Structure 1
Amino acid sequence: MIRLLIADDQALVRGALSALLGLEPDIEVVAEVGRGDEVVAAARQTDAEVALLDIEMPGMDGIAAAAALRAEVPVCRALIVTTFGRPGYLARAMRAGASGFVVKDTPAAQLADAVRRVAQGLRVVDPALAADSLAQGESPLTARETDVLSVARTGGSIADISGILHLSEGTVRNHLSSAIGKTGARNRADAVRVADDRGWL
């Protein structure tokens, strides 16, 4: 039996995934959590072999949870299952150590098969998303530009961003200007939107 942990902040989705996958003769759902920061402890307590992780969760997102699993419970492999099929998310998830990445509209039989393949140590990636990711390439943003845009999402001023990131206001302006150019955006808000849409933030 494959011991499966399901992490999704929406109780209805979590319950539906658990019910569907629990019908499989070789999969046992051993834990369900609603927060990313509960994943590692649940994996340890239940000896889970595969963790199905949503991306957007409170406490810690699914990509960070995948990285935490790889570092702290490497026997439990991460499979990202998300509504947000963005190429940038795929690249970030794979760098974080996820073994698979599929979207939530994947048919139940294919999802069960993805769980089995990940449990066997194989990689599973949604083919359409993989093609989009290759076509789009890696994020052109530097780590600092990504940080600045992430903080800019809240709509704060240059001074606010500067204070949060402990950078001078001039440095923040330079990073924003560079990020706007690299994303082909019209302004800061547009750069945030473009980078967010592509999964770079």
Structure 2
Amino acid sequence: MIRVLLAEDVHMVRGALVALLNLEPDIEVVVDVASGDEILPMAKEHSPDVAVIDIDLPGQDGLTAATELHEQLPTCRTLILTSLGRPGTVRRALAARVNGFMLKDAPSAKLANAIRNVASGRRVVDGELALSAWDGAECPLTNREVTILRLTSDGNDPTEIAAQLYLSTGTVRNYLTSAVSKLNARNRVDAIRIATEAGWI
């Protein structure tokens, strides 16, 4: 039996997925959560074989949670679900070393097969998503610039970001200035828009 953790913030969607997956003879959803912050603690408590994670979750985003799972609970494999196939998002997912990445509107049978493949050690990437990654532009930002731009988009100011990342406020401002420049943006808000549309944050 493949033990699954499901993370999805839309209650009706989560309920439907739990019901559909539990109809499969070899899959059991052992825990379902609504926010990214719940994933690691619940995974440690329930020891799932596969975590099926929506990429856009309140609190911690799905890719960050998947990275934490990979580092702290390597026996749990990860399958990311997304509604948007932006090239930068696909690249971020692959960089986060997730085991699978597929669109949320895929048929339930395809999701069940993806879970089986991921549980057996194979990687699963939806064909459309793979093509979008192939066609998309490379992200010009460093990992640190991406992190700081993402934290800024969440409403954190440079002082708060500096405290979170153990940097000086001036260093955070320098990273933001660099990100704005590399994206040819007018300001931080425009940089966030450009990076979000490209799927880089």
| Same-fold status (TM-score > 0.5) | yes
Q: What 5-or-longer segments of structure 1 have no aligned partner?
A: none
Q: What 5-or-longer segments of structure 2 have no aligned partner?
A: 163-167
1:188 Cα offset (Å): 3.3
1:176 Cα offset (Å): 4.4
Counterpart of 1:124 in structure 2 is 124
Matches of 1:142 and 1:128, distance apart in 2? 26
Counterpart of 2:128 in structure 1: which amino acid?
A
Counterpart of 1:197 in structure 2 is 197
CA 1:190–1:119 in structure 2 vs 1: closer, same or farther (change >3 Å)?
Answer: same
* Aligned residue among 165, 168, 171 for 2:170: 168
**Cα deviation 1:14-57 (Å, max 9, x = unaligned):** 11111111111221111111122222232233231111001222
Per the normalisation by structure 2, the TM-score is 0.85
Counterpart of 1:92 in structure 2 is 92
CA RMSD after TM alignment: 2.3
Matches of 1:125 and 1:151, distance apart in 2? 27
Q: Which moves more between the two structures, 180-189 or 31-40?
A: 180-189
Q: Does residue 14 of structure 2 align to residue 17 of structure 1?
A: no
| Structure number with bigger Rg | 1
Q: Is the 8 A contact 1:151 1:161 kept in 2?
A: no
1:80 Cα offset (Å): 0.4
Counterpart of 1:139 in structure 2 is 139
Q: Percent identity?
A: 48
1:197 Cα offset (Å): 1.4
Counterpart of 2:158 in structure 1: which amino acid?
I
CA 1:70–1:13 in structure 2 vs 1: closer, same or farther (change >3 Å)?
Answer: same
How many equivalent residue pairs? 196
